[in-house]
Structure formats: C-alpha cells, structure tokens
Amino acid sequence: MSTTKKLAGTALAVALGVGTLAACGDGDAKGKDGAVSGTPKTKQVTLVTHDSFASTPAVLKAFEKETGYTVKVLKSGDAGTALNQEILTKGSPRGDVFFGVDNTLLSRALDNGLFTPYEAKGLAEVPEQYRLDKAEHRVTPVDSGDICVNYDKKYFADKKLAPPQTLDDLAKPAYKDLLVVENAATSSPGLGFLLATVGKYGDQGWEEYWGKLKANGVEVVDGWEQAYNERFSGSAGGKKAKGDRPLVVSYASSPPVEVLYAEPQPKDAPTGVATGTCFRQTEFAGLLKGAKNEAGGKALLDFMIGKKFQEDMPLTMFVNPVVKGAALPELFTRHGVVVAKPETVAPDRIAKNREQWVKAWTALVLK
C-alpha cells in the first residue's frame, strides 16, 4: 500500500519542480499583459477578435497614452469561429469590445443581441455606405476590403493571354482549369466570392454560373492558406509548392502584400487583381453586452475609427480605412487597385439566404 503513496510522492515532487519552473516563466508573462494584480480592472480594456487582427504596437501605446487604458487583445480563431464563441458566451463575455464581424455574418451577431448600442465619436466621418446599422449603432464600421480573383502576371505574360477581368471571363474556355477557390462553407473569402456571384447573377442565375465554372475546371480547397500558399502559382508560397493555378480567390490587397514581404521589394507586384470579380467586405466592431469596462470599450471604439488606427490598418491587416481622409500608404496607392464597382448583397438578404445558398453551393460544386 505504501508503494503507491510513495510513487505518487515521486511524481508529485518532480511535477512540482517542473511546475515551479513554469511558474517562474509565467511571472513576467503577466507583467507583459499588464494584468498586474492590485491595479484596478477598469484600467484595462479587453478586445476580443479573430486571428487576423494586427496592429502596430506603437499605435496601441498611443491609445494608452491618450486614454489611460491598456489594451489586452484576445484572439480566438478565424472570423467565424471568433464570432461563434462570442455567441456562446453571450451575456458573460470575455472582453469589452469585439472586432471582426463582417457584413456576411453581421446578421448572426445582431440577431443574437451581442452588442450594446453606442455611437462612436467621429462616426460622421464614415461614409453612409459602410454604416449598415445606422439606425441603432450596435456596430461601428472599422475597415473594408475587397475579395477578388488574383492572377499570376507572369503566367499570362508567358502565355500571351490577357488575364480575366470579370466573372463572365472566368467561365470562358480560355481560362479552363486555371482557377482555384475556397470552400464557401468554411472560408470567409470563399463565401465572399460566392456572394459576388449571387450579387452579379441573382437568385436564379448564380447556380447556373457555378455549373459553368465547374465545367470549366474550377478547383475548390478548404481554406485561403491552401488556395493561396499551395495552389496559386503567383504567390511566394505557391511558387515553392509548385502551385499550378494562376487564378485564385484572394483579396484586392494581396498584390501590395506580396511586394511588402519580398526582399528586395520588386518594382511591380507579381500578381494582379481582376477588378470585375470583387465582393466588398466591411468589418465591424461593437461594445459587448455585459462588458466589465464599458467606458474603456467606448474609448476603444472611438479610437478605432480615429486617424491613427485607421491609417495603421492597411499595412497590418491589409484592409482599407473607412474614415474619409485617412491616407493610404504609398505601397497601396502604387500597387493596389481601386475597385470601382464591387458586387454587394444587402445584409438582410444575406441573413435570410446564407445557409441555403451555401448548402446549394455545396451540393452543386462539391458533390
């Protein structure tokens, strides 16, 4: 009998030793988060967001200086996962502000009553087209971006073929077996592209269009990472992975990003954007119901549509500012494109039909 006890003792002793080591490491971690016990909680504001959130540390420091609040950022998975986690914890949120719900999922957030209405200071500077909840101000528009087909410039130059520009082009025989898209059921750009086709061809026409795309050899993969980094021939990752699809559903901002993260930076982006294939995505932030620090949350929302944060976003999250007069970095003005006429679908229409569209799309394209 004593055997067991002693063996347990051994385990405990070693474990405690290891545990102590780990605890040492943890000490300074807490310091970094700024959650030093004893400091009143209201001095910290917690931003819950998705994994793609990014910000220059200096910008968050500036917020600290202006308002006295430190920001704690909690990332929890991709955009859909992060939102679903918020819905699950409704009423007892993990933070004060949620950022990252876009117009394709907005209805899900609003129907679940996640947010406390708040009209952020400076909202007047945001053009009306982005203010999708202007009656109640439950969410504040923060950024926008376009989901578009990107093309590999070199491929089309070598083939002496003009790259496609519109959705119609993609179904033409000249572009057979060239396009890779993401699964609309699991990927946010995948869903955006499906919505672009719904916006363009309507309730009746989109299924027929996808039938043509399928006949034209469209490939579907699960996520943006596989599509862009593995299958697309124009990206840095895709070149190494010997990707052989010169057309991919990505973002209008992807070409400037390819330039930014190349060394040395090339004069021209290796990829281009088919501007007639775009769907406009707008991302929102909102004050969570049950937030522990409402005042801090409001200050953070104000800050997010302020110039500093807005002008930082292009080079950290590769999205466009929504505030009038926010300057775009040279990289964007030089290598980016202006999408004059993106496809749009009204949020309530998306809300009503999203699941049915995705189901029909899955049955049509994947089966």
Positions 24 through 83 that interact with another protein (CB under 8 A): 25-26, 29-30, 32-33, 35, 46, 48, 51-57, 60, 72-77, 80-81
Interaction of residue 136 with another protein, rule CB under 8 A: no
Helix (H, G, I), strand (E, B) or coil at 192: helix
Among 15, 36, 162, 295, binds another protein (CB under 8 A): 15
Q: Which structure tokens are listed for 329?
A: 């970095």
Q: Which stretch binds another protein (CB under 8 A): 9-17, 130-138, 162-170, 294-302?
A: 9-17
Burial code (b: 16+ CB inside 10 Å, e: under 16) for 253-272 equals: bbbbbbbbeeeeeeeebbbb
Separation CA 67–CA 120 (nearest Å): 15
- Closest contact distance (angstroms) between CB of 343 and another protein is 22
Question: What residues between 90 and 119 interact with another protein by CB under 8 A?
Answer: 92, 94-95, 108
Residues 194/199/201/206 CA torsion (nearest 10 deg): 30
Give the DSSP H/E element, type plus range, for residue 284. strand 271-288
Using the minimum distance from each CB to another protein, give the nearer residue, 122 or 223: 223
Using the minimum distance from each CB to another protein, give the nearer residue, 261 or 340: 261
- Closest contact distance (angstroms) between CB of 224 and another protein is 7
Using the minimum distance from each CB to another protein, give the nearer residue, 61 or 324: 61
Separation CA 350–CA 75 (nearest Å): 26
Interaction of residue 235 with another protein, rule CB under 8 A: yes
Question: What residues between 213 and 232 interact with another protein by CB under 8 A?
Answer: 220-222, 224-226, 228-230
Interaction of residue 89 with another protein, rule CB under 8 A: yes
Using the minimum distance from each CB to another protein, give the nearer residue, 210 or 344: 210
Using the minimum distance from each CB to another protein, give the nearer residue, 122 or 329: 329
Beta bridge partners of 284: 101, 141
Question: What residues between 142 and 181 interact with another protein by CB under 8 A?
Answer: none
Question: What residues between 274 and 313 interact with another protein by CB under 8 A?
Answer: 312
Q: Which stretch binds another protein (CB under 8 A): 3-11, 154-162, 165-173, 333-341?
A: 3-11
Separation CA 2–CA 25 (nearest Å): 35
Work out the angle between the directed axes of helices 57-67 and 307-316 (0-180°, nearest 10). Answer: 160
Using the minimum distance from each CB to another protein, give the nearer residue, 98 or 115: 98
Question: What residues between 338 and 367 interact with another protein by CB under 8 A?
Answer: 355, 366
Among 67, 197, 250, 293, binds another protein (CB under 8 A): 250
Separation CA 134–CA 123 (nearest Å): 10
Q: Which stretch binds another protein (CB under 8 A): 19-27, 204-212, 280-288, 343-351?
A: 19-27
Question: What residues between 183 and 202 interact with another protein by CB under 8 A?
Answer: 183, 185-186
Q: Exposure of 86 by Cβ count < 10 A (0-12 exposed, 13-18 middle, 19+ buried)?
A: buried
Using the minimum distance from each CB to another protein, give the nearer residue, 287 or 319: 319
Note the helical H segments in the chain.
2-33, 57-67, 79-88, 106-111, 153-158, 167-170, 188-215, 224-225, 236-240, 254-260, 294-304, 307-316, 330-335, 347-361
Using the minimum distance from each CB to another protein, give the nearer residue, 123 or 195: 195
Q: Which structure tokens are listed for 93?
A: 């949120």
Work out the angle between the directed axes of helices 294-304 and 57-67 (0-180°, nearest 10). Answer: 130
- Closest contact distance (angstroms) between CB of 243 and another protein is 7
Q: Exposure of 223 by Cβ count < 10 A (0-12 exposed, 13-18 middle, 19+ buried)?
A: middle
Among 23, 157, 174, 327, binds another protein (CB under 8 A): 23
